[in-house]
């Protein structure tokens, strides 16, 4: 007998939320740690990007394996490896060592979030795909939003090592929770296939899937400039670690708060509309950031960026969920995740070069241009997109 899908969604939300708290705790500290080790802009970008190198390389394979072998075991193994990686951060004593640890961290994260998203899409009742995906993404964003503020406070009071110990602790706690409270694949209703999942080439050949892949890439390429260099920019204009943590938390919390209501909206209308609107909103926010040197203006722009991103994620996940029903849920979600990861590789490295040669203001300008170009490309590719019959609320 299958477990109630709402109960599975709740368990997944708790697990992912706690995991993302741990990840968010160390997020704003890594660029500063790298600079303390003597890294320049390019090396800082390479350290941040290395997290996504392993995600990009391994995502298509992990997704197909999960579609054929199940969900829970992948999530559990990933959480255990998370704990081990957090200890490896403490042992890193050079920029090269940080790159190796980030490669390992990227791989472990791939086993958790995309697979949990695939499971949530597997069990979503008809007409509630956006609500289910929005709920899980909301939990992830709430966790990630709490993390930077907690990380800043912990670092200021207990030193640079304590946030990494905290990451280890929350990973262990979450692994125990998943082991006991997330049901087996058979009980949860996870959809597994012995064959018939779409290949990487088949996914890219589908116009709608290709649009979502490009959307994830361009969004990551532009937003990655903010997430990589906003800590340094905030430090340059005199903001404290706690103030920056609040900026980032406000950004991410808004993303989180909008996930479920926008997910419901995407269930009732054509989800491409919320995706395109969100992309142009983010582009405006990123473009304006280097013109702001005080806390309140930067807070306002982070609020705009968070609200706009809150439109992008649910809409794109709904479209991905519809396609995944035929292509293989984890296979498709892992490829779109790989596109996001590839954007996060390009962005820090490109931004590092721009930072070293032109200055930090141009980092944000380039990021805004990438997001705006992506919005135009996605709008063109999705111009004839309609959700499956009976899934949207406006008859399209």
- Alpha-carbon distance 140 to 146, whole Å? 10
Name the band, by pLDDT with cuts 50, 70 and 90, for residue 379: very high
pLDDT of residue 275: 92
Q: What pLDDT is recorded for position 202?
A: 85
Distance CA(305)–CA(378), nearest Å, equals 19
pLDDT band of residue 391 (cuts 50, 70, 90) is: low
Which residues, 6+ apart, have CB-to-CB distance to 183 below 8 Å? 3, 8, 11, 72
pLDDT of residue 392: 55
* Mean predicted lDDT score pLDDT of the chain: 82
- Any domain includes 92: yes
| pLDDT for residue 396 | 42
Average pLDDT over residues 323-330: 82
Do the Cβ atoms of 127 and 238 come closer than 8 Å? no
* C-alpha 343 chain-centroid distance: 11
Q: How far apart are CA 361 and CA 222, in angstroms?
A: 13
Look at residue 385 and tell me whether its pLDDT is greater than 50: yes
* Per-residue confidence band for 196, with pLDDT thresholds at 50, 70 and 90: low
Assess if residue 395 is contained within a domain: no
In this prediction, residue 1 carries a pLDDT of 42
Give 114's contacts (C-beta < 8 A, 6+ positions apart): 59, 62, 63, 330, 333, 334, 337
Is it the case that residue 211 has pLDDT exceeding 90? Answer: yes
* Spatial distance between the Cα atoms of 292 and 239, rounded to a whole number of angstroms: 12
Let me know if 153 is exposed, middle or buried by CB neighbors in 10 A (0-12, 13-18, 19+): middle
The answer, as to whether pTM is greater than 0.85, is no
In this structure, is residue 167 part of a structural domain?
yes
394 pLDDT higher than 60: no
What is residue 253's three-state secondary structure? Answer: helix
Within a domain: 285: yes
pLDDT at residue 3 tops 70 = no
Sign of the alpha-carbon torsion through 345, 103, 113, 115: positive
**How many domains does the chain fold into?**
1
Q: What is the pLDDT of residues 216-273, one digit of tens each?
A: 999 888 877 777 788 788 878 888 777 877 887 788 778 878 888 888 888 888 889 9
Asked, for residue 393, whether it belongs to a domain, the answer is no
The answer to whether residue 50 sits within a structural domain is: yes
With CA atoms as reference, report the closest residue to 137 among 106, 107, 116: 116
Alpha-carbon span 314 to 259, nearest angstrom: 6
* CA-wise closest residue to 13 among 146, 126, 145, 119: 119
Distance CA 271, CA 134 (A): 13
Q: What is the pLDDT of residue 395?
A: 42
Q: What is the mean pLDDT of residues 93-112?
A: 87
At 26-51, the pLDDT tens digits run 777 777 778 777 777 778 777 877 88
> 291: which DSSP letter?
G
pLDDT exceeding 70 applies to what percent of the chain? Answer: 95
CATH of the domain at 353: 1.20.1250.20
Q: Measure the CA–CA gap between 282 and 307, rounded to whole angstroms.
A: 8
Determine, yes or no, domain membership for 390.
no
Look up the domain containing 372 and give its range.
Answer: 5-381
Query: What pLDDT score was predicted for residue 375?
Result: 92
**At residue 285, does pLDDT exceed 90?**
yes
């Amino acid at each position: 007998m299958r477990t109630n899908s709402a109960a599975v969604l709740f368990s997944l939300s708790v697990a992912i939320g706690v995991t993302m708290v741990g990840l968010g705790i160390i997020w704003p500290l890594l660029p500063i740690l790298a600079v303390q080790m003597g890294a320049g802009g390019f090396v800082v970008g390479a350290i941040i990007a290395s997290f996504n190198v392993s995600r990009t390389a391994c995502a298509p394979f992990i997704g197909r394996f999960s579609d054929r072998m199940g969900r829970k075991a992948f999530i559990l193994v990933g959480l255990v490896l998370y704990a081990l990686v957090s200890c490896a951060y403490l042992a890193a004593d050079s920029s090269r060592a940080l790159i190796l640890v980030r490669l390992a961290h990227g791989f472990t994260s791939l086993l958790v979030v995309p697979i949990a998203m695939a499971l949530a899409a597997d069990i979503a009742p008809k007409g509630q795909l956006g609500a289910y995906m929005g709920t899980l993404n909301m939990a992830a964003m709430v966790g990630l939003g709490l993390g930077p503020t907690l990380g800043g406070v912990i670092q200021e009071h207990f030193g640079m090592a304590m946030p990494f110990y905290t990451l280890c602790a929350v990973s262990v706690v979450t692994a125990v929770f998943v082991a006991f409270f997330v049901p087996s694949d058979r009980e949860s209703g996870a959809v597994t296939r012995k064959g018939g999942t779409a290949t990487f080439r088949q996914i890219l050949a589908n116009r709608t899937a290709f649009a979502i892949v490009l959307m994830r890439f361009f969004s990551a390429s532009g937003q990655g400039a903010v997430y990589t260099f906003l800590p340094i920019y905030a430090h340059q204009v005199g903001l404290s670690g706690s103030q920056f943590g609040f900026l980032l938390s406000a950004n991410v919390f808004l993303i989180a708060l909008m996930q479920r209501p926008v997910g419901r909206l995407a269930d009732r209308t054509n989800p491409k509309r919320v995706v395109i609107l969100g992309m142009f909103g983010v582009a405006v926010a990123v473009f304006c950031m280097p013109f702001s040197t005080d806390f309140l203006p930067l807070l306002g722009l982070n609020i705009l960026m968070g609200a706009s991103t809150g439109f992008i994620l649910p809409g794109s996940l709904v479209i991905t969920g519809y396609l995944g029903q035929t292509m293989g849920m984890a296979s498709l979600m892992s490829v779109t995740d790989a596109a996001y990861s590839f954007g996060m590789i390009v962005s820090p490295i490109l931004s590092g070069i721009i930072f070293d040669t032109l200055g930090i203001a141009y980092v944000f300008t380039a990021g805004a241009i990438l997001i705006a170009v992506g919005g135009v490309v996605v709008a063109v590719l999705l111009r004839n997109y309609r959700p499956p019959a009976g899934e949207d609320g406006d008859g399209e």
